Amino acid sequence: MSGSLARRLIAAPAAFVLIVATIALARLITVTAPDGSDNARPWVHQGQMNESVVERTFEVTVLTVRGGRAYEGVYESRTTEGVFLLVRARVMALEVETEVRRAEVVDESGNTYSAQILEGLSDRSLLPRISMEGELLFEVPPAVATHLVLRVSSTIGDLPQHQTVVEVPLQIGADDVRAWSDETDPLTVMPTEVVG
């Protein structure tokens, strides 16, 4: 066997291995490289109920969730074919005066339901290091109520890359939703209070 034939027999498998390795490396680069949408996403801070989560300008703790078919507010009373949820939260501005400007719940399909009232949490500025507790009112279909994530932010702009968002999954069971769907007594929104 000549030297050039031996080199070709060795070079062919080596070339095949190099081609496969190049394809695998190219695929890895494609999968892990950032794309244009990466810088269009908000900064998300995730937490759990009864746990403090820090947004950019405030700290929030989601305390409780209660629900019903009707609610009674200061200016109006309403009923729904869905479910009203009252989410009680404690919010404290960190270093500067701020506001909760956006509050919504998001279901598994990505549908959003904006807060109908932010009782005391958005109608006034939050002062640094003073904790406020208030309720957020949402109206949602009963079918999605067990898989909701609360999303709050101090920004409401159209450019998500400039937003910091807190996300907290709400602990709502199927039994809760059934009981709330049958509840005819209206929910009363609890007053906002300074708690620290």
Q: How is 147-180 classified by DSSP, letter by letter?
A: S-EEEEES---S-GGG-EEEEEE----HHHHHHH
Residue 149 near residue 168 (C-beta atoms within 8 A):
yes
pLDDT digits (tens, 9 = 90+) for 31-64: 666 555 555 567 888 999 999 999 888 999 999 9
Indicate whether 139 pLDDT > 90: yes
The mean of the pLDDT values for the chain is: 83
Indicate whether 66 pLDDT > 80: yes
Indicate whether 84 pLDDT > 90: yes
Q: What is the pLDDT averaged over residues 133-151? A: 94
How many angstroms from the chain centroid is the CA of residue 169?
Answer: 7
Structure tokens at 191: 């007053």
What residue type is 32 in one-letter code?
T
Share of the chain above pLDDT 90, in %: 39
Q: Return the sign of the alpha-carbon dihedral for residues 39, 100, 92, 117.
A: negative
Please report which confidence band the pLDDT of residue 91 belongs to, taking 50, 70 and 90 as the band edges.
very high
Nearest to 81 by CA among 140, 32, 125: 140
Residue 153 near residue 101 (C-beta atoms within 8 A):
yes
Structure tokens at 178: 């059934």
* pLDDT on residue 15: 75
Residue 136 near residue 117 (C-beta atoms within 8 A):
yes
Q: What is the pLDDT averaged over residues 128-147? A: 92
Please report which confidence band the pLDDT of residue 77 belongs to, taking 50, 70 and 90 as the band edges.
confident
pTM of the predicted structure, to 2 decimals: 0.74
What residue type is 80 in one-letter code?
T
